[in-house]
Structure formats: C-alpha cells, structure tokens
C-alpha cells in the first residue's frame, strides 16, 4: 500500500529549513538534501540511502556515498526519465557495474530484500521515527 503525502502544502512548508538554508547561502549551500533514508519499520535502523534525480548525466552523489560508507549501508542514485513510465535507472554506487533500468516492482523488490536481510540482525525495538 502506498502512502501519499496528505497535505502537499504542509509538506512543502515542512521543508522550511532547506529553503531558509539556501536563502542564507545561495552561492554556497554547504550541504545537500538527501532524498530518502530507508529504515527498518521495527527498530528504525537506516538500511539504505536514496538520492533521486531527473538529470540525465551522472549525478555527483559524493556526500551520500560518504554517508553510506560511514553507515555501512548501500547508496542508490535513482534517475527518473519522465518519458519512460514505470521504470527507473538505478545506480547502486558501492557496487561495480553500470546503472540498470529497473521496473518499479524490481526496484521495490531490491529495497525489500535489504529489509529482509536486516531482519536477521534487527533488535526489534522501536527507537523512534
């Protein structure tokens, strides 16, 4: 079951820090927005990081890659081409090889596989979220 953003205006307003920070340092943001941190639904341990983009050239995701290395979690850079419906170009940065076009269901299966892998070490305690 998908979860929609209930109130788009409220969601956009909740990004106030991003907007404020950019306004203060418009020539040098000194930070990035990370698009998604995939977590275990039981203990909220981070399981993977996602940087999403619509740009066509290889995205510079150095900070996400470094965070992934420090946290020992995979980093996915996911490209969406608005002309190709139902699939994404997925670049799993810590692995060798070229990005692969995956159907939405294939991407979902890959992300859920990471959750299942975590299951065996999950402490099962909700730490927040």
For the bound state, the minimum distance from the C-beta of residue 123 to Zn ion, rounded and expressed in Å, comes to 6
Q: How far is the CB of 93 from Zn ion (least distance, A)?
A: 23
Q: For residue 82, give Cα distances in angstroms to 2, 19, 86.
A: 20, 25, 9
What residue ranges bind Zn ion (CB under 5 A)? Answer: 40, 42-43, 45, 122
Helical H segments across 1-129, by residue range: 8-13, 16-24, 62-71, 104-119
User: Min. distance of Cβ 46 from Zn ion in angstroms?
Assistant: 10
Residue closer to Zn ion (CB basis): 57 or 116: 116
Token representation of residue 97: 């090889």
What are the φ/ψ torsions at residue 8 (nearest 5 degrees)? -60, -40
Nearest residue (CB) to Zn ion, 5 versus 127: 127
* CB nearer to Zn ion: pick between 52 and 122: 122
């Amino acid at each position: 079951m998908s979860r929609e953003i209930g109130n788009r205006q409220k969601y956009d307003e909740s990004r106030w820090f991003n907007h404020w920070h950019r306004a203060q340092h418009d020539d040098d943001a000194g930070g990035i927005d990370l698009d998604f941190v995939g977590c275990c639904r039981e203990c909220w341990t981070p399981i993977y990081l996602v940087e999403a983009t619509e740009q066509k050239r290889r995205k510079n995701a150095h900070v996400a890659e470094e965070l992934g290395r420090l946290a020992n979690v995979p980093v996915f850079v996911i490209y969406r081409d608005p002309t190709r419906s139902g699939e994404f170009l997925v670049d799993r940065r810590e692995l060798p090889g070229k990005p692969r076009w995956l159907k939405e269901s294939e991407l979902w299966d890959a992300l859920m596989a990471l959750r299942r892998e975590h299951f065996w070490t999950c402490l099962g305690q909700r730490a927040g979220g």
